[in-house]
Structure 1
């Protein structure tokens, strides 16, 4: 395998460092691409600039597969904007409020509401949080707990859904590496098979009902819960919530619950109806047919919500179209990120980065430990940079060739990268979803980070064990082991907390 030795590590390292320093994925990826090409052309800046544009960026946009992915992202962006601005999410959540009469029901309802809004990781906190904050106050549940719940149902849920923007983005990265390695496997079926190995995301989502039903809180979260239950105070004296309760009225307008469930029903019926015609799930669906089916499904779903909003007279037709096109415009940043990620992948491939890493590790590092290493590196990077998508873009072009070259379990390695990226996205204080969760719950941001971090670290520790075991076995049944470990760990930690609290009360 040809490579440029340690020099091939410079582009991804620069991308990682700049992602951490600038918190800007586009600048980080472009810098990695440019520096890599600069090295390839022998240090000539003008030639490097022309090469980056003409031979690295343009070909990515012109590629038929890539172009189809970018168009699909715009369809998704328009649909998500309509769903968020319709007020349907708030209406759907409000419709179940009358059935909530216990602390457990309040927490589970917020958790379920977050899962329902799976189509938008950033919309979940701003839709679910304001609806449930008064319910949580009445039930004497802390704002920190609400922030944790909606944060646990934003990006951890979104990364598990293969047919929304997250899945399309990840499949685009996987497809590019498969083509370079001549792997003739559908990126869609690959992502489906990776789901059981997304240990961190599944543990984060599963932990909410576990804590709610078993009434098990620990760490700073337990202190926050005791504060609310014993004193009725929503905040600590030094807390500064990110918003006042009346700042998100746009999410609670005259929407109807049907604005959510009917378009989603249209989406599912259209998508799976078209996929069934290709033999799904018994036959693999070609990538192009999947993207066309998904684009059609999002188009029909968007048309259905537009019709509902017109009939309900919730907004004027011109306003609705503006919302749809604005949602499409918001995907430009995502599309640019993806194009630059593809370009960086080509640079890394041309420089032989993965080949160098494989050569350096072969015979020195056992294959079974590779997923655990990928998870730790991805977790550290995403925690420091606050970005999961940037982590995916930099890590997958390295992880996939590593898995193939070192005979590690490919699906487990991909799952490890995704889990590592989600860890930081979920709990980093500079992550957009973490900030929006504090905002949506009306909680102090630092309080949210402090109360959530022990839960996230516990899930990450269990996920790490899972990746070591899965690295050995390659079995999806490892997921069951991680859930058993989670239940056991939460129970033991909580009982230890209760015992310490009882001793303090007695003193």
Structure 2
């Protein structure tokens, strides 16, 4: 089937920007991506509905069958997401979260300790943002209540550690999906300088919003840096008394039943990554192993090990009849993410076939300094994620566009542009009142949702302003370290300015 060539036509942007516009207007990402894919298939086949459906079928089959052989990489990612949902659900059913909370209440001695405990738990629960927001909320809420930390502050810590950490870590549902998307983009645009894992690591180091959002959380937790409505919520919390007796979200579990499975999941996944990577090396090195690892296989192996550990650790705490219900609830919790990921893969193929990047880059050339691209893409991703409430949908639409534009404009900016999209998607997700992670953070903290949105917004916008400056420096200088330094300096200046303004008030 001969596909139409739109490399020099404005029609090349229609599928991607139709999906973007519909997502902003309707706030229904699945519908918007689906319409964008269908329109793209029709345009590529000259408007013939039958041929369009055939091409759509061919794109779907290509996800698992390529060059006459099965391509199971994407299928393994979907299996890992299902395993992760089951893992999280079993931990919830077992009551392990509440058991850890009871232990922590006996060992934490002050407000700062309660806040730092909550922030530091992300280094254990970074495998998934949903898991982090709900599990850490259940674990930390009784502790922060005891020391009169506001629910708004708890929700902020949950939200601003969940997505930023998940987007930086390859051993997470976010990392897995991003690496899978990167693998396709690197092949599509013949980028051989990076492996998918190498590109992910490089992009993480340039994800200034995620990195400094995490730093901001620890600054807020340690120094009680309260601005905007957060200061009001903290004063109110300290003047009130919470009832320490809180109803458990599950059965009375055991502390080790939370700690051991999470450690097994992380250690087994990392071990598998080192093993699969080492097989491609003549001389073993840790960095070389991670550069050549089979991430998808490693995640599936780690997922099975994690679920197995949960099953062993929860014997006697979950009724036999509850296991099927827990497994189904866990799988069902991942159906939305899986659907978005599949549609993201399909629209990536459409954007490539439509030559959207080639056309857009021709508009940028001579009109916009390529050095401004990272900052522009960061802000655009912020707006889209804010409007749609999803980072994953933003990744799906924006990453292929960013890669295509950078390849045609300045290939050295491919990684910076894609990292800017990742950063903007997380930032917009943080600011959005309709974001799943924002809603789950409010839920995990038992905080009024609007209180969480309004109290987190000043922190998110402060970090976003610093990150914008960093991406300008990165794009103009091609130096990741200069961009990092500029972000750090601007953020420090903004914190000092806000602190002095608060003191003066």
Normalising by structure 1, we get a TM-score of: 0.89
Deviation at 1:268, TM superposition (A): 3.4
Measure, in 1, the Cα distance between the counterparts of 2:127 and 2:247: 19
1:40 aligns with 2:44: yes
Measure, in 2, the Cα distance between the counterparts of 1:421 and 1:106: 29
- Number of aligned residue pairs: give it: 486
Superposed CA offset, 1:113-138 (max 9, x none): 34432223113232232443344344
Deviation at 1:480, TM superposition (A): 4.4
Measure, in 1, the Cα distance between the counterparts of 2:136 and 2:477: 39
Match of 1:494 in 2: 499
Match of 1:374 in 2: 377
Contact 2:372 2:475 in 1 (8 A): yes
Match of 1:429 in 2: 433
Contact 1:4 1:351 in 2 (8 A): no
Deviation at 1:358, TM superposition (A): 0.9
Measure, in 2, the Cα distance between the counterparts of 1:367 and 1:225: 44
Q: From 363, 367, 383, give the equivalent of 2:366.
A: 363
After the TM superposition, which residues 245-394 of structure 1 pair with which residues of structure 2 at under 5 Å, given as runs? 249-250=248-249, 252-277=250-275, 278=278, 279=284, 281-284=286-289, 289-310=294-315, 313-394=316-397
Q: From 194, 213, 217, give the equivalent of 2:226.
A: 217
Measure, in 1, the Cα distance between the counterparts of 2:289 and 2:425: 28
**1:163 and 1:45, CA in 2 relative to 1: closer, same or farther beyond 3 A?**
same
Match of 1:505 in 2: none
1:203 aligns with 2:212: yes
Q: From 458, 464, 488, give the equivalent of 1:460.
A: 464
Q: From 413, 419, 424, give the equivalent of 1:415.
A: 419
Deviation at 1:475, TM superposition (A): 3.3
Superposed CA offset, 1:132-176 (max 9, x none): 334434433322111111111222221111122111111111111
Deviation at 1:79, TM superposition (A): 2.6
* Structure 1: gaps spanning 5 or more residues: 235-243, 501-507
Superposed CA offset, 1:448-469 (max 9, x none): 1111111110010011111111
Superposed CA offset, 1:83-123 (max 9, x none): 34333333334322223232211211221234432223113
Measure, in 1, the Cα distance between the counterparts of 2:161 and 2:304: 25
Partner of 1:163: helix, strand, or coil?
Answer: coil
Contact 1:57 1:340 in 2 (8 A): no
**1:405 and 1:90, CA in 2 relative to 1: closer, same or farther beyond 3 A?**
farther
Superposed CA offset, 1:389-412 (max 9, x none): 000000011111222222142222
Measure, in 1, the Cα distance between the counterparts of 2:466 and 2:504: 24
Measure, in 2, the Cα distance between the counterparts of 1:153 and 1:266: 22
Contact 2:198 2:291 in 1 (8 A): no
Contact 2:386 2:429 in 1 (8 A): yes
Contact 1:41 1:47 in 2 (8 A): yes
Deviation at 1:71, TM superposition (A): 2.9
Match of 2:281 in 1: none
The alignment yields a C-alpha RMSD, in angstroms, of: 2.5
Measure, in 2, the Cα distance between the counterparts of 1:61 and 1:31: 22
Partner of 1:119: helix, strand, or coil?
Answer: coil
Measure, in 1, the Cα distance between the counterparts of 2:247 and 2:10: 50
Measure, in 2, the Cα distance between the counterparts of 1:93 and 1:487: 34
**1:133 and 1:325, CA in 2 relative to 1: closer, same or farther beyond 3 A?**
closer
**1:123 and 1:271, CA in 2 relative to 1: closer, same or farther beyond 3 A?**
closer
Q: Which moved more, 1:125-134 or 1:339-348?
A: 125-134
Q: From 14, 17, 34, give the equivalent of 1:13.
A: 17
Deviation at 1:46, TM superposition (A): 4.0
Match of 1:106 in 2: 114
Contact 2:273 2:293 in 1 (8 A): no
